[in-house]
Structure 1
Amino acid sequence: MFPVHMRLIADSGIYIVENLNLEELAAARAYEFAVVVPPLKVKGGTGSAVRIFALVPR
């Protein structure tokens, strides 16, 4: 099941972040920011819903 997820996340430690809405950051001209992706702790899981947010310097 989900061979791409298994290859990227479980085998290589590469996280898949898709469908980000970056319009507000672009409108604010925030071209540098830290992205925070706190994962759910699911034992044996390779993915979950997350609430991603950006830290933007003033």
Structure 2
Amino acid sequence: EYNSQLSYMRVQLTTQLQEGITHNSVTWEYNSQLSYMRVQLTTQLHESITHNSVT
């Protein structure tokens, strides 16, 4: 369950990055939202590695 949530977040992040590049419409607000998602994803990945609890 944790792993699929992580995969979903990764897909969302990748999609948003792709859309941002495609439409060339990265505004400050959009950019900060993207940064927040990236931090969340990195944190979750780090936690899963640290605790070795990826189911």
TM-score category of the 2 structures, normalised to the smaller one: under 0.3
Who wins on radius of gyration, i.e. which is larger?
Answer: 1
Point out the structure with the larger strand share: 1
**Structure 1 length as normaliser, TM-score?**
0.23
If asked which structure has higher relative contact order (CA below 8 Å, sep 6+), I would say: 2
| Structure holding more helix per residue | 2
